[in-house]
Structure 1
Amino acid sequence: MPKSANFLLIGSSEAYSGKSAMILGMAHQLQQKGLKIAYGKPIGTCLSEDSLDQLVEEDVKFMAQTLKLPDDCVLPMLLPLDEATIFRRINGTDSTHYQQLLQRYAAPAGVDLVLLEGAGTLEEGKLFDLAVPQIAQALDSPVMLVNRFRSALVVDSLLAAKARLGDRLMGVLINDIPHDQVAIVESQIQPFLQRHGIEVLGLLPRNDLLRSVSVAELVHQLGAEVLCRSDRLDLMVESLKIGAMNVNSALEYFRKGRNMAVVTGGDRTDIQLAALETSTQCLILTGHLPPSRAILSRAEDLEIPILSVDLDTLTTVEIVDRTFGQVRLHEPIKVQAIQQMMTKHFKVDRLLTKLGLDPVATV
């Protein structure tokens, strides 16, 4: 591995492992140390259209704005990964040599390090020769992996990744560790990985705020109608509760929750009132039934949005659960939280040493 690396490729073994969040926190630390950073995401996976009907990668746009990167420090997307693109490749109508496009990737003048974000998994993009191992080889780049801690079996995926990447695997960051598991990860899993040649550069405990979604995002995903307090869609939801029991049981149930979204029928005034008196961030009423005036008035006073959906309870819960599983980072309060967590738990100086880089200054 070269002493000084122009690129660092950040990948993961499974989708939604928190790569974007970790990159944002890492980049912030590097900037604080005086390094000039560039960022790129060769495969676009969070696509939308701008006012000119051009495809935009939302993560790239957000990263550039948050880190205040100049245009020349944002590398271009090489491939928008969607169904149409995949089938063009399968059908032979896309013969683009993406490895050749990769060769044009270059660190802008004066940049100390280019952070590249890989696709959802190690092998995603292989159809286009843009899987993480292929990008790493083409750019002679070291790789850092971000893995979410689901159980001690995290060691399996990391050992497999080590076998796949070899010496290019510079280190790993394990995040979303339940607080009651942090000690065992530090005392047993981390030393095990170290013994197998896998350096652990950070262990991040679970943070409910980072796992939360905004009420605005729930409105978007559910196609919901906002019945009141559309000015409070920035509230963050950390958990989901279903109100389908009697009111006495509901009160006890809701009091155990924190920053909840409560799904219940539009005709369940008793459940709605119980939810409003606890730690509820929004009410989601199913069946497209309007709430009573008393409920709307109380929600207005408490500044709690009420959403109405033309869906049954099961479908609503499935959509909300899926939204929690695909949490985005695009809220300022989350940016602040991840910066603080990475500052505390990520070994940025060790990363710089392994990259052969020296901090220009420490702020």
Structure 2
Amino acid sequence: MTRTTLLSSPTESTGKTAVALALASEAQERGDDVGYMKPRGTSLESVVGKTLDSDPMLAREVLDVEDEVHEMEPVVYSPTFVEEAVQGRVDPEELRDEVKTAYDKLADGRGLVFLEGADVYTTGGVVGLTDADIARVLDAHVVLIAGFDGYRSVDGILAAARVFGDRLAGVVLNGVEDPGFDDVEGSVVPFLESRGIPVNGVLPYDRSVAGVTVADLRDRLNATSLTDASHDGYVERFLVGAMSGEEALRQFRRTKDAVVVTGADRADVQSAALEAPGVRCIVLAGGLEPPSAVVSKAREKEVPILSVGLDTVAVLDEIEEVVQHGRKPDASTVDTVRDLLTRHADVDALLGD
């Protein structure tokens, strides 16, 4: 009989994809025939003329499986789809049948199937396909992958636990930063377990997994690099260079691991950014190049300058998206998370062994 585990989350960007594929990889290593499915695609991008979720494609690569993407992702939960559902042009019962049919084909002959939930566990309500609905339809156990952003994060975990009820097999707290790690293990874990919620692991924050590099920004923006400086530096925040050069310098010196977004005509802001040790990158909107003196200084200080054809508002929207939600997982991310799980989680319990 196939054991099916759904990885869900009370909030966005908690690392469900990497954890699901890391667990699936570990199960493969132990000799299990493993499948992966994301019933509703929500991490959407355009691929060969179709809107698809990138996570099933990563699963095909990491797990070396040949399942069809449309079976791994039977529902593309796009804005257009949601609009049609709200307008009554989608039949929820037919949709559930489609998901069940795709699952049955994918699960046939396999010992384990990992289901990845949507961005948050409530997504899909307009068609009766929330994560709780999926768990019921496909008879899945649920593991909640939760971030920790202070003690109020516990509220979200408790709310999700009530929704999943007896199907909840456990919780993994992921990406817990060092200042709060001891508090989580010493207070949060015992509290949750006193409420009947088993905690299967507490994974520390790892910058190589969750951090966003200059290279990630360059690729997301399709930017041109004006210097040969390394793009490996991490950025955690962005600043808009719309003030005077003197004010910009005061502000930039108070920050760290920042990207400065400004126009190519603001040489004063660019120069101020190059004087601030916490600025990791300068992004110039509008597609124009800065003065040669600024480029020379950036090369000397080994600070990347990226030129982007988009206007400032569009650039900020793109940067905000990637900085807030983190980088997309890849095969190396999965390997790192697998190592973290081995060291900081009860993998046997997560695999149902």
User: What TM-score does the superposition give when structure 1 sets the normalisation length?
Assistant: 0.81
The unaligned stretches of length 5 or more in structure 2 are: none
| Offset, 1:347 | 1.3
Given the alignment, which residue of 97, 100, 117 partners 2:97? 100
| Offset, 1:132 | 1.0
Q: Deviations over 1:109-129 (max 9, x none)?
A: 542210001112222112222
Letter paired with 2:311: L
CA contact (8 A) 2:17 2:329 kept: no
Question: 1 or 2 for the larger relative contact order (CA 8 Å, sep ≥6)?
Answer: 1
Given the alignment, which residue of 74, 78, 91 partners 1:82? 78
- State the match for 1:66 in structure 2: 62
| Offset, 1:317 | 4.3
**Aligned CA distance change for structure 1 residues 331 and 263 (closer, same or farther; 3 Å):** farther
- State the match for 1:311 in structure 2: 311
| Offset, 1:134 | 0.9
| Offset, 1:275 | 4.3
Q: In the alignment, is residue 55 of structure 1 matched against residue 44 of structure 2?
A: no
**Aligned CA distance change for structure 1 residues 289 and 20 (closer, same or farther; 3 Å):** same
Q: Secondary structure at the match of 1:185?
A: helix
CA distance in 2, matches of 1:7, 1:333: 25
The unaligned stretches of length 5 or more in structure 1 are: 358-363
| Offset, 1:80 | 0.8
| Offset, 1:108 | 3.8
CA contact (8 A) 2:228 2:304 kept: no
- State the match for 1:344 in structure 2: 343
Q: When the two structures are aligned, how many residues end up with a matched partner?
A: 347
CA distance in 2, matches of 1:55, 1:231: 35
Please say which of residues 332-341 and 202-211 is displaced more in the overlay.
332-341
Paired residues for 1:233-244 under 5 Å = 236-241=234-239, 244=243
**Aligned CA distance change for structure 1 residues 322 and 112 (closer, same or farther; 3 Å):** same
Q: Deviations over 1:197-249 (max 9, x none)?
A: 10111112222333333445434655x65252589667653443555565698
Q: Deviations over 1:61-91 (max 9, x none)?
A: 0122123223379943221111221222222
CA contact (8 A) 2:245 2:272 kept: no
- State the match for 1:266 in structure 2: 264
Letter paired with 1:157: G
CA distance in 2, matches of 1:315, 1:232: 25
Paired residues for 1:102-117 under 5 Å = 102-104=99-101, 105-106=103-104, 107-117=106-116
Letter paired with 1:82: S
**Aligned CA distance change for structure 1 residues 285 and 131 (closer, same or farther; 3 Å):** same
CA contact (8 A) 1:229 1:303 kept: yes
CA contact (8 A) 1:232 1:305 kept: no
Q: In the alignment, is residue 10 of structure 1 matched against residue 7 of structure 2?
A: yes
- State the match for 2:137 in structure 1: 138
Letter paired with 2:29: Q
| Offset, 1:310 | 5.1
CA distance in 1, matches of 2:293, 2:306: 13
Paired residues for 1:195-274 under 5 Å = 195-215=194-214, 217-219=216-218, 222=221, 225-229=223-227, 236-241=234-239, 244=243, 250=249, 253-254=252-253, 257-258=256-257, 260-269=258-267, 271-273=269-271
Structure having the higher helix fraction is 2
- State the match for 1:360 in structure 2: none
CA contact (8 A) 1:7 1:114 kept: yes
CA distance in 1, matches of 2:112, 2:164: 21
| Offset, 1:180 | 1.1
- State the match for 2:21 in structure 1: 24
CA contact (8 A) 1:98 1:129 kept: no
Q: Secondary structure at the match of 2:333?
A: helix
Q: Secondary structure at the match of 2:307?
A: strand
CA distance in 1, matches of 2:280, 2:286: 20
Letter paired with 2:23: M
Percentage of matched positions with identical amino acids: 28
Q: Secondary structure at the match of 1:209?
A: helix
CA distance in 2, matches of 1:108, 1:61: 18
